[in-house]
Amino acid sequence: MRTLRDQIGARVYPVHRLDRGTSGALLFALSSQAASVLGKAFELGRVAKCYWALTRGRPLDGDIDHPIEKREGGPRVAAVTRVRCLAVAGRYALVEAQPLTGRLHQVRRHLKHVSCPIIGDVRYGKGEHNRHFREHYGLHRLALHALELSFEQPESGERVQVRAPLEARLHSCLEALGFGALL
């Protein structure tokens, strides 16, 4: 927040968070009122979110409808993530994931639930695959990227689409796997 504040010379208000190790699009507001409106839009599912994940295994295209905790230690609640396989390289797949609800570690937990954990995920993933990607591709991070956010601008109501470029190390890993045409 400080970096962004210093870059634009104004106070910023965070609207949502990304898991530690996830790269990509973050949304900040320039007023507490706009942050409140946008935060409510996230809660109501009015913000479209699109992630890319590198997984071990290829999930079936469609919805993963599996209840998970909204907050750590809380009761399980409805959770749905729409997934689509973009490409496959051996045992690994590049997957597009669109969480339709907002739950703790939702994309990571849903992909693990269908036996396709995200590479680099030390909590829900597989150590042997994480080590393979560290050693062979120099990927020392979670292979999850918040590619795109789409929402209504609070003042104008205009639909805004924000797309974040892939972080360099993840980009080079995906290229090395043969996914370059998609990047």
Give the model's confidence band at 29: pLDDT under 50 very low, under 70 low, under 90 confident, else very high.
Answer: very high
Show Cβ contacts of residue 18 under 8 Å, excluding neighbours closer than 6 positions: 24, 26, 146
Dihedral of the alpha carbons of 145, 119, 123, 43, in degrees to the nearest 10 = 30
In the numeric block, which tokens belong to residue 45? 């599912």
- At 58-81, the pLDDT tens digits run 999 999 999 998 777 889 999 999
- CA torsion, points 70, 149, 25, 117, in degrees to nearest 10? 50
Show which residues are catalytic: 19
The structure's pTM equals: 0.93
Each residue of 153-169: pLDDT tens digit? 988 999 999 999 999 99
CATH of 45-182, one of 3.40.630.10, 3.20.190.10, 3.30.2350.10, 3.40.50.300: 3.30.2350.10
Q: 68 and 77 in contact (C-beta within 8 Å)?
A: yes
Q: What is the pLDDT of residue 132?
A: 97
